[in-house]
Amino acid sequence: MTETAIVLANGQLAGIHAKTAHGLVRGTSRFRILGVIDPEQAGRDAGEVVDGAPCGIPVFASIAAALAALGPVPRFCIVGVASHGGKLTAEMRALVKEAVRGGMSVVNGMHEFAGDDPEIAALARAAGVDVIDVRRPKPKEQLHFWTGAVKSARAPRVAVLGMDCAIGKRTTAKWLVDALNARGVRAEMIYTGQTGWMQGAAYGFVLDSTVNDFISGELEHAIVSCDRERAPDVIVIEGQSGLRNPCGPCGAEILLSGDVHGVVLQHAPGRRYFEGYEHLRCEIGSVADEIRLIALLGARTLAVTLHSQGLDGKQLAAAARALQDELGLPGIDPRGAIDDLAALVADHARQERRQREEP
C-alpha cells in the first residue's frame, strides 16, 4: 500500500516525541507522505527539521492549510507523536475529528484507541472512512506461544537495543537494513513498534500492546515467518525501551526468545536520566554494565551507536572516542557511518553462519 497521507506532529516535529512523524518523514513504503501538520515549523521542509536536509515534504500550519495546498484529499491522516502513556490529548483529538470530517481515514499508533471514542467513531461512519488503531491487540486465538522453532531459523539475528526509550533504535535498525541491502547482504527488519509497521516492515508485532504471555511467541513467529518466506542473510530486530528502564524494562525477551547472539547498542552520551523521569533522578547505568548484562543473556555487543541529543558534533565525536577507548568497541554515529556498522553486522552474520555449518 502506498496511499497518500499527511502526518500530525502537533507542534512537536522538532522534539523526540514526534518519533513516528520522524520515521515517516525519513521513509515509508506503506504510505506516500504529502505533508506534516505542525504550526511551530510551518513553511519549512520536514526533512530539514528532522535531519537538517530537505526531503520534499512540506510542513503546514493546519490541516486546512494542507488540504488547500495539496488538492486531492489524502487518503490517510496519521497521528505522528508517541507520548508517555499514549493518551490522545484534547488538541490531538480535535485534529483527528477535523481529519475525519475532511474525508480522511485515520491511522493512530497511540495506546488510546481513537476508534473507541464514540464521537470519532460516529464521525467516521458518517464520512465513510476508517479509523485504524495500530496498537489494537489481535484476538488471543490469533496469537502465538513460543515453541522453540526459532532455534532452527537459518538467518542470524542482530538486535538493536537501547539504553533508554526514544533514543533512535528503530531509526538505526532501518538505516542498518537499508545499508546491508545496498551492500548486497539480504536483510530484513522485525518491527516491534507501531512506526515500524507504518514504515512498511513486513514482519513483526507491536510489543507493548501484546499480552505478556504471547510476546515471546509473537517474536518467534515473526522471525520464523521471515526466515522461511524471505530467506535473508541476516535479520535485524528493533528493540524497545531498555534492559534497565524502570518504567518498562525490555530486551531480555528479544535476546532469549529470539535466540539473538549479536547486539547493536544505542546510547545517548548527553542523556543522564531516563527520558521522562528526570524529576526522579533515575540515572541511566553505564554502557559497560549494559554490555555485561547483554553478555549474561547470551549475546555479544558488536558496536555502540550514538544519539546526538544535547551534544554538538565535536562533543559527540569525543564521546565516541572515549567509549571506544573504554570498551574496545566501535562508537558509531549512524547518521554518517552507517556503512561501517553494516560491515560489522555483515561480518558477524557470516561468522555465525559459518559456526552453525561446522560439524
As a whole number of angstroms, the distance between CA 290 and CA 174 comes to: 23
Confidence of residue 359 (pLDDT cuts 50, 70, 90): low
CA distances in angstroms from 232 to 108, 216, 226, 227, 342, listed in the order given: 30, 21, 8, 6, 15
pLDDT tens readout for residues 290-318: 999 999 999 999 999 999 999 999 999 99
Average pLDDT of the segment spanning 336-349:
97
On whether the pTM is more than 0.75, the answer is yes
In this predicted structure, the answer to whether residue 1 has a pLDDT above a threshold of 60 is no
Cell numbers standing for residue 255: 535476546
Q: Are the C-beta atoms of residues 107 and 199 closer than 8 Å to each other?
A: no
- Beta strands (DSSP E) in 257-329 are 262-267, 300-306
Indicate the DSSP class of residue 283: B
As a whole number of angstroms, the distance between CA 71 and CA 81 comes to: 25
Question: Cα(first)–Cα(last) distance of the chain, in Å?
Answer: 45
Give residue 358's pLDDT. Answer: 74
In this predicted structure, the answer to whether residue 135 has a pLDDT above a threshold of 90 is yes
Average pLDDT of the segment spanning 44-66:
97
Name the H helices within 128-246: 169-182, 194-199, 215-230
Give residue 25's pLDDT. Answer: 98
pLDDT tens readout for residues 21-30: 999 999 999 9
Which of 46-55, 84-93, 327-336 bottoms out in mean pLDDT, i.e. has the lowest? 84-93
- Show the domains of the chain with their CATH numbers: 3-133 (3.40.50.720), 142-357 (3.40.50.300)
Give residue 21's pLDDT. Answer: 97
130 Cβ contact partners less than 8 Å away, ≥ 6 residues apart: 105, 106, 124
In this predicted structure, the answer to whether residue 179 has a pLDDT above a threshold of 70 is yes
In this predicted structure, the answer to whether residue 356 has a pLDDT above a threshold of 90 is no
CA distances in angstroms from 123 to 96, 101, 108, 224, 307, listed in the order given: 10, 7, 16, 40, 41
In this predicted structure, the answer to whether residue 345 has a pLDDT above a threshold of 90 is yes
Confidence of residue 105 (pLDDT cuts 50, 70, 90): very high
Mean pLDDT of the chain: 96
Average pLDDT of the segment spanning 190-207:
96
